[in-house]
C-alpha cells in the first residue's frame, strides 16, 4: 500500500528540507505496517505563479483546475506515485534466502558512556544484531544480548574518551544479512551537566545559532526547521562543529537530550 504525505503550507525544500520527512512520524508507522510513504515537495516562487511560501495549490494560485485530477500538481503527484509503485507485486514476508544489509547506519550521538546508532530498516527482517570493535580492522563482537527489534540501538557501559566502530546485520529468523557499512563514534570525556543551547527561537537568532526567514527560525549549518520565530517557541540545539547547529538526533535512543537546560527550569521544557 502507498500513502502520500503532504505538508500543505511552507512545504518547499528551501523551507523545511527533510524535517517533515524525518519528524512527521509517518516513517515509523509505515515501517510497522509495511507501507510506502511518498513525500512530494513544492518549489517556492516569487514570480508567476506567485508562491513565496512554497504551498501546495489549495486555493487556485496556479490554475483554475487545481483540485481536479487534470490539475498540474495533482497530475505530477500521480506520476510520482505511479513511478514508486512500478513493478510492485505486493509485500512478502521474511525471505528464506539472503536479503539486504541495513543501509544508512549512523552513529547519531554519544555520551561519556553510550553511543547511539540508527539505520534504515530492512524489509522482512525480524530484527538486527549490532557488532562493535575498537578499530575498523579489529575483530567485531556482538554488542546486543537480545535481538534488536527496531532500527536504532544505544550501546551502553562504554569507556569515556574512546572511539568505537560499529556495523549492523539484519536477521530474518533464519539468516543474517551481509554487514552494513562501518561507522565510528567517540564517547565524550564527561557528560555535560546541562544543555547550553536550550533557548527560545528569538534568542537563538540573536546569539547566532539560527536565522529567521518569513517568520520561522532555522538552525545555522543544518538548516533544521525550529518553528516560529518568537520568544515563546523554545528549542534545544546541539553544536557539532564551528557554526553548525542542529536539533538532537531522532531517534534519541540515549534518552538524554536535553539533560538539564542551563538557566532553564525543567517546567519550561514540558
Q: Which of 56, 52, 105, 108 is nearest to 222 (CA)?
A: 108
- Reported CATH class of domain 103-186: mainly beta
pLDDT tens digit sequence for 97-145: 456 899 989 887 787 888 989 898 888 899 999 999 999 999 999 999 9
Higher pLDDT, 268 or 118: 118
Instruction: Please give the Cα distance from 12 to 44 (Å, whole number).
Output: 6
Tell me, rounded to whole angstroms, the distance of Cα 233 from its chain centroid: 21
Q: Is 40 exposed, middle or buried (0-12, 13-18, 19+ CB in 10 A)?
A: middle
Q: How open is the CA angle 59-64-67, to the nearest 5 degrees?
A: 60
244-247-251-257 Cα dihedral, nearest 10 degrees: 110
Compute the distance between CA of residue 133 and CA of residue 142 in angstroms, rounded to an integer: 9
Q: What percent of the chain has pLDDT over 70?
A: 79
C-alpha distances (whole Å) from 188 to each of 155, 160, 185, 224 are 14, 6, 9, 24
CB proximity list for 195: less than 8 A, separation 6 or greater: 236, 238, 257, 258, 259, 260, 261, 262
Global pTM?
Answer: 0.48
Rounded to an integer, what distance in angstroms lies between the CA atom of residue 20 and that of residue 13?
Answer: 10
Q: Can you list the positions of beta strands (E) in 98-137?
A: 103-110, 115-120, 127-133
25-29, 143-147, 155-159, 201-205: least confidently modelled range: 25-29
- The predicted model gives 180-209 an average pLDDT of 82
**pLDDT beyond 50 at 40:** yes
Q: Looking at residue 133, what is its pLDDT?
A: 97
SS3 for 84?
helix
CA angle, 107 then 112 then 118, to 5° = 20
- 6 prior amide bond cis, ω within 30: no
Q: What is the pLDDT of residue 198?
A: 75
List of long-range contacts for 70-78, beta carbons under 8 Å, 24+ apart: 73/42, 76/40, 77/4, 77/38, 77/40
Q: What is the mean pLDDT of residues 167-179?
A: 92
> In what order do the strands lie in the sheet containing 141-142?
141-142, 127-133, 163-171, 183-186
What size, in residues, is the chain? 270
Residue range(s) of every CATH 2.60.40.10 domain in the chain: 103-186
Amino acid at each position: 500500500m502507498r500513502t502520500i504525505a503532504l505538508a500543505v503550507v511552507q512545504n518547499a525544500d528551501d523551507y523545511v528540507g527533510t524535517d517533515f520527512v524525518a519528524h512527521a512520524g509517518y516513517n515509523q508507522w509505515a515501517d510497522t505496517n509495511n507501507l510506502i510513504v511518498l513525500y512530494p515537495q513544492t518549489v517556492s516562487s516569487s514570480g508567476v505563479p506567485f508562491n513565496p511560501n512554497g504551498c501546495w495549490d489549495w486555493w487556485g494560485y496556479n490554475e483554475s483546475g487545481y483540485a481536479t485530477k487534470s490539475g498540474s500538481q495533482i497530475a505530477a503527484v500521480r506520476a510520482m506515485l505511479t513511478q514508486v509503485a512500478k513493478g510492485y507485486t505486493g509485500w512478502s514476508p521474511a525471505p528464506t534466502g539472503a536479503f539486504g544489509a541495513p543501509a544508512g547506519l549512523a552513529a547519531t550521538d554519544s555520551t561519556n558512556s553510550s553511543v547511539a546508532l540508527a539505520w534504515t530498516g530492512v524489509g522482512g527482517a525480524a530484527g538486527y544484531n549490532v557488532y562493535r570493535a575498537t578499530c575498523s580492522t579489529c575483530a567485531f563482537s556482538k554488542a546486543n544480548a537480545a535481538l534488536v527489534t527496531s532500527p536504532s540501538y544505544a550501546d551502553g557501559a562504554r569507556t569515556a574518551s574512546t572511539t568505537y566502530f560499529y556495523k549492523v546485520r539484519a536477521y530474518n529468523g533464519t539468516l543474517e544479512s551481509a554487514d552494513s557499512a562501518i561507522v565510528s563514534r567517540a564517547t565524550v570525556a564527561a557528560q555535560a551537566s546541562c544543555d547550553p543551547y536550550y533557548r527560545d527561537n528569538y534568542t537563538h537568532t540573536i546569539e547566532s545559532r539560527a536565522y529567521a526567514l518569513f517568520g520561522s527560525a532555522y538552525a545555522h549549518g543544518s538548516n533544521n526547521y525550529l518553528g516560529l520565530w518568537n520568544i515563546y517557541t523554545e528549542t534545544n540545539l546541539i553544536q557539532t562543529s564551528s557554526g553548525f547547529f542542529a536539533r538532537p538526533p531522532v531517534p534519541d535512543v540515549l534518552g538524554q537530550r536535553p539533560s538539564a537546560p542551563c538557566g532553564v527550569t525543567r517546567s519550561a521544557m514540558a
